[in-house]
Every structure is written in structure tokens, then in C-alpha cells.
Structure 1
Amino acid sequence: MSFSIQLPLVLFFSSLFIHVSFGEVVCEELANEACAFSIASSGKRCLLETRRAGGGSVEYQCRTSEVVVERMGDYIETDECVEACGVDRKFVGISSDAFLEPQFSAKLCSPPCYVKCPNIVDLYFNLAAGEGVLLPELCEKQRMNPGRAMFELLSSGAAAPGPLSGFSEDIKAASAPSPL
């Protein structure tokens, strides 16, 4: 093959993969197996959704959510964190219902997850806050007395100010006394 034919082919194939070389993550281009717990280049979380296809079958698709993660983007969660935190990449949507399972809270609060997987912890920190629960407090109670932590979670009637962003700053803000 002559050089004049090879160059256009090389340029064409390079253009197909250019976003990969720049590390760009686009949710709609991710495989379903990598979608959940990923963050697009825009800083928005990727979310696995279902839709009805022809013939009544259900198809999965990766979409960009409106949830913005500050200080994090271009991120696909590692298999190690998915395993350590007890989450499943086949989750459709994300719900705080997972907190009702003691095994989930134990894995989420375990050092391999809580210390090494800030993306997943940030996500569930915000979900817990939406339910009026502070994740650092839940994890401390989980370490001290797992049964009591679950009881307090189930009986919590406290209202949270709403989901927060920026995990490390949220922990500081949550532990600071509130002005009266």
C-alpha cells in the first residue's frame, strides 16, 4: 500500500479514537458494564436506565444525569471499588434503599471502601444526607454497634438540609456546630 493511501486511513482511525486519547468520558458512549458510578467529562454522573424496545423487550442504556460532582470528572469507577463497596454496576438508578440492608452499610463503611473509594462514598454521602442521615455518623455507629446503627437509620425522622457536594468539605461542615 502506498503512503498516500495509508495516511488517510491512519488519520481516519485516529479520529475515531481521539476522545479516548484525551480521556473524555461521555456517558452515552460507555458500555452498560461501565456506566454506573462513572462520571462524564462534564462532571455529571452517568446513570444506567431502561427503556422499552420494539417487541416489548427492555434495553439498558447509559445516560448523563443532572447530578454534578464537583472536583471530579472523566472517571470510570474501578472494579475493586465496586466490589469493596458492595455496589452493582447493573443498578438502574440509585436509591437510598440500599442503606436498609445491613450488609450494604457494613461494606460501604469498611475501610477498603470508605477510605479508598471517594466517588462511591460521595454518592452515598449525598443520598444519606437527603434522608436526614450523616454518613460519617452512620459509619461510626456501624463500627461500634451494627444493629443499633440500623435501628437508628430506620427510626430517623431528622430532616437534612439536602444533598451536599464535595465529600471532604461536607464532612467538615456536618461535624461543625450549626449557628442558632
Structure 2
Amino acid sequence: MAFILFLLFSFLLHGAQAEIICENLPIGLCSFSIASSGKRCVLENNVQDNGNMEYQCNSSEIFVKDMNEWIENDECLNECGLHRKTVGISSDSLLEPYFLARLCSDLCYKNCPNIVDLYHNLAIGEGVFLANLCEVNSKMPRRVMTSSGAVSAAADGPISMAEAPTSI
């Protein structure tokens, strides 16, 4: 509902252009959005002198081909295991098996082109293809903690977040 109100307000404010400028986006819509210019929006944080954390939406230097004026929907964020208040743009999460399982799931991979494009390009920046990471992740053995130590079990494919161990 908030997304619809934001778009309506944007159309009224900017007339027929409906231009999206990262610096004008509310903090809650910044991460995983793409400006009219084609630049990805990035949420940044700064610690102020009084110790409070301040968040700001800015344009990154990352251009997106064939996609602009995009604000990611809540369904894709949920299906892909992401959060609205994600700070920065980093490939670090590609090293986390549970995130990778969510990203590679059919619900995310086939339905969320903006997120898949972002992580595809981040993977390429690390010298790998996202499709290959997804294939390896689906075949990797899963480690299950038991009282006597770690026991390896073969995984049939990506696991759901509900199956993820709460602590290791």
C-alpha cells in the first residue's frame, strides 16, 4: 500500500515525468531501487557526533542496463531474503549459503529480475557466474550440528530459512 501511495505521490509531484531520484527517496524505499538515470540507489549510514546513526539514500556509480525507475517490491525482498534497510552494495552475502539458497530459489531467481541482475553483476565482479554459484549451492552438502559434533548430510537442494540452524 505504501508503495502505491509513493508512486501516486511521485506522479503528482513530478507531473508526467515521474522521475525517481535516489536522494529524494524515503529511507524505506532506497535499497534495491533504481533511479531514472539508471543508477542504483544505495543506503548509507553515518554515525553523528552525538552517537546516533543517520541513514541517507544516495546514487551509486553502478548503472543498470535496460532497467530504470524501479523500486523493488516487498514480495521480491522477502523471497530473496533481503531487507529494506540493507546498507551498501556488497558481494559478501554471496558467501552465505542460506542467502544464496533464497536468491537461487525459483521464487526469487525467476521473478525478481532487478535483484538477480544486481547479484549476477556482483558475482561477475568476483570472477564467477551467479548461475554457477546457484548450481554449486544446490549440490553442496549441508552440515547439521549434533551433540557429538558436526555431521555431514547430503542436501537435495536449497534449504528453506525454516530449516536453517539457529546457531553453529
TM-score range, shorter chain: 0.7 to 0.9
Percent identical: 54
Does 2:118 match 1:123? Answer: yes
Shift of 1:147: 3.1
Number of residue pairs matched by the alignment: 134
1:97 to 70, 92, 101: 92
Q: Which has the higher helix share?
A: 1
**More strand as a share of residues:** 2
Question: Among residues 13, 18, 28, which one is paired with 2:13 in the alignment?
Answer: 18
Cα distance, 1:20–1:36 mapped onto 2, change above 3 Å: farther
Are residue 84 (structure 1) and residue 79 (structure 2) matched?
yes
1:107 aligns with 2:102: yes
Q: Which is worse superposed, 30-39 or 129-138?
A: 129-138
RMSD: 2.2
- Could you list the structure 1 runs, at least 4 aligned residues long, displaced by more than 4 angstroms after superposition: none
Cα distance in structure 2, aligned partners of 1:67 and 1:91:
16
Counterpart of 2:33 in structure 1 is 38
- Deviation track 1:11-67 (CA, whole Å, cap 9, x = no partner) reads xxx999432653311111111111000000000000000123352322001001111
The answer as to 2:138 corresponding to 1:147 is: no
> TM (normalized to structure 2)?
0.73
CA deviation profile, 1:158-178 (whole Å, cap 9, x unmatched): xxxxxxxxxxxxxxxxxxxxx
Relative distance call for 1:20 and 1:113 in structure 2 (3 A) is farther
1:97 is displaced (CA, Å) by: 1.2
Q: TM-score, normalised by structure 1?
A: 0.68
Quick check: which has more Rg, 1 or 2? 1
